[in-house]
Amino acid sequence: MSTDEEYAELQRLKAEIHYHVYRYHVLDAPVISDLEYDRMVERLKQIEAAHPEWVTPDSPSQRVGGAVSERFAKVRHPAPILSLGNAFGVDELLAWVERTARLDERVRSADFVVEPKIDGLTVVLTYRDGVFVQGATRGDGEVGEDITSNLRTLKALPLRLPVDPHGPKPPATLVVRGEAFMFIAEFEKLNRRLQEAGERTYLNPRNTAAGSLRQLDPGLTASRPLTLYTYAIVAADGPTPQKQWDLLQYLKALGLPVAPESQYCPGLQEVLEAVEAWRAKRDRLPYEADGIVIKLNDLRLAEELGFVGKDPRGALAFKFPAREVTTRLLDIGVNVGRTGVLTPYAILEPVEIGGVIVKQATLHNFDYIAEKDIRIGDRVLVKRAGEVIPYVIGPVVDARTGDEKPYVPPQTCPACGQSVEHLEGEVAWYCVNLACPAQLVRNLEHFVSRGTMDIVGLGIKIVEQLVEAGLVKSPADLYSLSKDDLLKLEGFAEKKAENLLQAIAASRERPLARLISALGIHGVGEVMAADLARAFTDLDALASARLEDLMMIEGVGPNTAQSIVDWFARPGNREFLARLKAAGVWPVSEQKQAAAQGSQPLAGLTFVVTGTLASFSREGVKEYIQARGGKVTDSVSKKTDYLVAGEAAGSKLDKARQLGVPVLDEAGLLKLAGE
């Protein structure tokens, strides 16, 4: 890079940093993340270090904080409210210790205090004769904004010291530095309340805390769940502790809140161990913390070390890998899950988060996109915590140019082109095409499972083999498989192929309820399938059912009824049913057959089965009862007519006795059925 290009970059960086400082400190509406800001400042410092003659008084490197808003009265701090130098890794931490040790050998044997670097708003609190009289923001480090009325609304801030009358007496004038913030749980509750009220939600706790404290209406501040931790004395009329650890205990004794996670470290080794411990527990903290602050415990030594530029040498901010960054949302893609649920995802302009390049992030669901008003082309805030999949928090609305495009959910499945289903009151959008390639393996796995068509020997690995070989593109294809087809697959010999074909053939005889359950209709499980099998002779009859017919069946609500009607209305599903019928997989309701023969002895009775029976499997006894007109449910209630109990019956037997539900053994069931 030429000198002219480097100088031009310097001027551009200065302008951009000034703009972002203004947005962060004055408007409380940043459009970039802390990581991006830190990188700009670091690059600026690199250029200025190489060309010290280019450093000017207006350079961002020469100031401490941000601008001061004209909306508030000005407060001059009794001492500079300084920011800290940053370290982004252990090597930089060790380099800081080595640099300061070269200035004063006492650093090599020093003890330290580690405190959380909470992502909030720095505040300066003034007490006179123990009474809170003024509160201010940091501002530019020399002059802040008077937010006394707003700070008075914080319940964590004591209006008089000491809180405990037996505590230490504070100096006549005491100026304390702290951080105002929101606990994550309280921030999430606030956002839920705002969402329910139809109001705009916030992106993160830091911006919310800063914006709440810098309101002209203290009533609005009072409605926000703000809290406070203190950690330093800026000025005092009398003596105060000269060890940082003692100072924290002193503040706490006065009744000022102190971060309970702060810890004393006897030496550098303990600091390094603390760094690793804090990294591990970061995601479990009740507040957002973007790092830890490592301080020399000896405050006199820290003061004697002085400053490098505007940064005190006696303390360092150790920054965690960034979890939140902003980037451009290039597009929104859609995945089709194995259950048919359509899930949107963000296609991002690549960005580094915590040492990982992120190109995609989850958007949760289509309602989330609408609620957050996320648009294609937006600058979005993306978060990645630990090993959690990155997700989009929301758009940076103030960064919009007008070219962003609102997103419309797809009307057809991106995998198969069939129209999708979205039922009122549900979050998910579904593709209900049984032959959809994106969900074929899952649909086949469900179709052949023990509770549905029960094709013995056809597990998930063989299902995947059949799909990968192109032998099965729909569950109906199972009934046209040949021995030659199976022998082409790895692991198949004559006997295994014959056994599987026999199991497939045997599944043609499964009762109607099993087949209905195997179809995988949204909202239709085993119990519902049994109810439908009692109400309809076969799948032709069920396919012809109207919405009102279905809703006449106990337990079938409007959404489930609509799912059933929609499933049978789809051309792909109708084609699948035609192929099943041609393959001889078309059971007729056993209950209807029995009713025609006048043999429904269990009609109108509700049963629950528990324990192990001698002559029946669990599925077998259900089918026996259902074939004779009875209904089988999973839980005992006052509506249960009989509990069928075998060996090792558990809590269901106890509940039946409590409710006075008659209990039958296997012989009693057979007798009731007239056999």
Residue 490 is given by DSSP the state T
Q: What CA–CA distance (Å, rounded) separates 184 from 191?
A: 11
Least reliable range by pLDDT among 35-44, 264-273, 297-306, 481-490: 35-44
Least confident stretch, 208-217, 335-344, 509-518, 654-663: 208-217
Domain 3-62 CATH (choose: 1.10.287.610, 3.40.50.10140, 3.20.20.140, 3.30.365.10): 1.10.287.610
Measured between alpha carbons, how far is 525 from 510 in angstroms, rounded to an integer? Answer: 16
Which residues make beta-bridge pairs with 457?
none
Active-site annotation holds for 117: yes
Give pLDDT tens digits for 466-504.
Answer: 999 999 999 999 999 999 999 999 999 999 999 999 999
Residue 224 has pLDDT above 90, yes or no: no
- Among 19-33, 258-272, 305-319, the minimum mean pLDDT is found in 19-33
Confidence of residue 590 (pLDDT cuts 50, 70, 90): low
- Residue 606, φ and ψ in degrees, nearest 5: -110, 130
Task: Please give the radius of gyration of the chain, using alpha carbons only, rounded to the nearest integer.
Answer: 35
Amino acid found at 610: T
254 φ, ψ to 5°? -75, -15
pLDDT band at 101 (very low <50, low <70, confident <90, very high): very high
102-126, pLDDT tens digit by residue?
Answer: 999 999 999 999 999 998 899 999 9
Cα gap 609→631, rounded to integer Å: 11
Domain boundaries, the chain: 3-62, 76-319, 324-406, 437-588, 594-672
Give the 3-state secondary structure percentages of the chain, helix then strand then coil, rounded to 5: 40, 20, 40
597 closest CA partner among 657, 674, 530, 669: 674
pLDDT reading at 392 higher than 80: yes
Token readout for 218 is 């203290």
The pLDDT of residue 312 is above 90:
yes
Section 397-420 average pLDDT: 91
pLDDT: which is higher, 282 or 264: 264
Which tokens belong to 669?
């069931």
In three state form, how does the secondary structure of 421-477 look? ECCCCCCCEECCCCCCHHHHHHHHHHHHCCCCCCCCCCCHHHHHHHHHCCCCCCHHH
What's the whole-number mean pLDDT along residues 385-414? 88
Predicted confidence band of residue 282 (pLDDT cuts 50, 70, 90): confident
**Nearest partner of 637 among 671, 607, 602, judged by Cα:** 607
Residue 175 has a pLDDT of 97
More confident residue, 525 or 589: 525
pLDDT of res. 516: 95
**In this structure, are residues 60 and 21 in contact, taking their beta carbons and an 8 Å threshold?**
yes
Backbone angles phi, psi at 604, to 5 degrees: 85, 0
The residues, ordered by sequence, that sit 6+ positions from 348 with a Cβ below 8 Å of its Cβ are: 327, 328, 329, 330, 358, 359, 360, 361, 380, 382
Annotated catalytic residue: which of 14, 45, 74, 117?
117
Region label for 309, one of left (φ > 0), alpha (ψ between -120 and 50) or beta (otherwise): left
Q: Give the pLDDT mean for 506-527.
A: 91
For domain 324-406, is the CATH number 3.40.50.2300?
A: no
Beta strands in 480-626 (DSSP E): 606-610
Averaged pLDDT, 557-583: 91
The predicted structure's pLDDT at residue 503: 95
Total Cβ atoms within 10 A of residue 164 = 10
Helical (H) or strand (E) element with 380: strand 379-383
Residues facing 235 on adjacent strands: 175
The pLDDT score that the predictor gives to residue 388 is 65
Which residues make beta-bridge pairs with 178? Answer: 123, 230
Residue 514 has pLDDT above 90, yes or no: yes
Dihedral, CA of residue 144, residue 147, residue 148 and residue 153, to nearest 10: -140
pLDDT at 203: 77
- Superfamily classification of domain 76-319: DNA ligase/mRNA capping enzyme (3.30.470.30)
CB-CB contact of 400 with 383 (8 Å): no
Rounded to whole angstroms, the Cα distance separating 389 from 364 reads 11
Residue with tokens 């252990």: 90
Q: Is 508:550 a contact under the CB 8 Å cutoff?
A: no
Q: Output the pTM of the full model.
A: 0.56
Q: What does the block give as tokens for 251?
A: 């503040």
* Residue 283 confidence (pLDDT): 82
Question: Of 52-56, 374-378, 608-612, which range is least confident?
Answer: 52-56
- Phi-psi sector, 401: left (phi>0), alpha (psi -120 to 50), beta: alpha
Q: How confident is the model at residue 580 (pLDDT cuts 50, 70, 90)?
A: very high
408 phi and psi, to 5 degrees? -115, 125
> pLDDT tens digits for 317-338?
998 877 788 999 999 999 988 6
Q: Is the pLDDT of residue 292 over 90?
A: yes
Q: How many Å separate Cα 299 from the centre of its chain?
A: 41
Give one word for 611, left, alpha or beta, with left for phi > 0 and alpha for psi -120 to 50: left
Q: pLDDT tens, 41-71?
A: 889 989 998 998 998 877 777 654 455 556 7
Neighbours of 595 (CB within 10 A): 16
Average model confidence (pLDDT) across the chain: 88
- Mean pLDDT across 218-235: 88
* Highest CATH level, class, for 594-672: alpha beta
pLDDT at 598 over 70: no
Question: Of 291-295, 544-548, 624-628, which one has max mean pLDDT?
Answer: 291-295
Beta bridge partners of 132: 127
> Which whole number is the average pLDDT over 460-466?
93
Enter the CATH code of domain 437-588: 1.10.150.20
Whether the bond between 571 and the residue before it is cis, its omega within 30 degrees of 0, is no
DSSP code at position 401: -
Is residue 77 predicted with pLDDT exceeding 90?
yes
Nearest to 514 by CA among 441, 434, 579, 455: 455
Rounded Cα distance between 202 and 516, Å, is 46
Q: What is the mean pLDDT of residues 639-645?
A: 94
Distance CA 262, CA 264 (A): 7
Bridge partners, 176 (sequence order): 125, 233
CA-nearest of 95, 230, 212, 217 to 170 is 230
pLDDT score of 179 more than 70: yes
Average pLDDT in the 433-462 region?
90
Q: Is 123 exposed, middle or buried (0-12, 13-18, 19+ CB in 10 A)?
A: buried
